[in-house]
Chains A and B, each alone.
Chain A
Amino acid sequence: MGRLIRKIIIAAIPFMFLFACGGAGEKVELIVSDLELFAEGYLFDGSNTATASWSFDQSRILEEKGHSGKKIAQARITSITIGSDENSELPSIDKVVIEMAASGTRMIRIGLLQESLEPGESYALQIADTQKGLEKFFEQEEITFVADVNLLEDFEDDLRLKLSVSFELEVK
């Protein structure tokens, strides 16, 4: 009987190692704010592309969060908000779609807003259910946030919108 238990324990050791290594990491929240989505005018009614770039260093982000030497194993967006300054002039906008792009990975759609935007207000986007491979973006050095802004009228000025994105990162 004792021999059997010993065999079971020995057989279980590799699995215990596997589970220990593949277990859930620590959750870290990262808020990327003060980004400016910009589209150069003159803009015509219909879909217009505005972009905002965010340069970063994964190891520095993790160092600041107290996780030096670790990696981002998984990432998920928990909120996206857009808005504008109170004094800014905005065209009539009815929908905004936001995607994320980076050189070493594929563009993915992350959010949708189906509301008219008013100056000085902030709006939370509906977050995409599917966020496959988001962690790969953090292996790059720069992420470009791409907004397709649907204008209901022509707009002769530049378009500037504030963007804030919150991530939940799993760090191992």
Chain B
Amino acid sequence: MFALMALFAFSAFILKPADAEGDKIVGVWEPGHGKAKVKIEKIADKYYGKIVWLLEPIDPDTNKPKVDKNNPDESMRNVPLKGYRILKDFVYKGNGEWAEGTIYDPENGNTYSCEIKMKDDNTLDIRGYIGVRTFGRTDTWKRLQMKS
């Protein structure tokens, strides 16, 4: 019984700060290209990011709001890009790193493995890659509402 109580007390002290640290990524971020803004939120115990603003929200070909026209699943090509969840399933690993996630590129319909490193409170390094982490590309995202 004592061991169980000790375990609960230990969890309360140990797990809560890690949760709070992981939640530092929550907020609205701007990718390096500046064409979108992405809101990162926590759903259940993972982190997800969706497009909340587009520099060019209207598709010049259709004169309608942009949709996910390159999605490999044809049945989902009418999903609007504004509101599209492009970052999925990130787990906080400690030391300002979120891993095991994916990033979706609506420009080509490809999904890449992805890791996120928080350089400081207002800067993220987002690394997308296929297979091996070495062969990838890193983009720097800035927090929209800077924390001082």
Main secondary structure of the interface of A (DSSP, over half): strand
The number of chain B residues with a CB under 8 A from chain A is 22
Q: Do A112 and B76 form a contact, CB below 8 Å, given A101-B43, A106-B88, A106-B89?
A: yes
B79 touches A (CB below 8 Å): yes
* Nearest CB in chain A: distance from B39 CB, A: 9
Q: Are B83 and A150 in contact (CB under 8 A)?
A: yes
Q: Do A53 and B44 form a contact, CB below 8 Å, given A109-B76, A112-B78?
A: yes
Contacting residues, chain A, for B79 (C-beta < 8 A):
95, 97, 109, 112
B52 touches A (CB below 8 Å): yes
A142 touches B (CB below 8 Å): yes
Give Cα A93 to B83, complex, Å: 13
Q: Are B78 and A114 in contact (CB under 8 A)?
A: yes
B62 touches A (CB below 8 Å): no
A35 touches B (CB below 8 Å): no
One of B44, B46, B82 near A46 (C-beta < 8 A)? B82
A84 touches B (CB below 8 Å): no
Give Cα A101 to B72, complex, Å: 20
One of A106, A129, A146 near B73 (C-beta < 8 A)? A129
One of A53, A95, A126 near B75 (C-beta < 8 A)? A126
Contacting residues, chain A, for B83 (C-beta < 8 A):
46-47, 95, 97, 148, 150
Q: Which residues of B are in contact with A by a Cβ distance under 8 Å?
A: 41, 43-46, 48, 50, 52, 72-76, 78-80, 82-83, 85, 88-89, 102
A-B pairs with lowest CB-CB distance, top 3: A47-B83, A130-B73, A129-B75
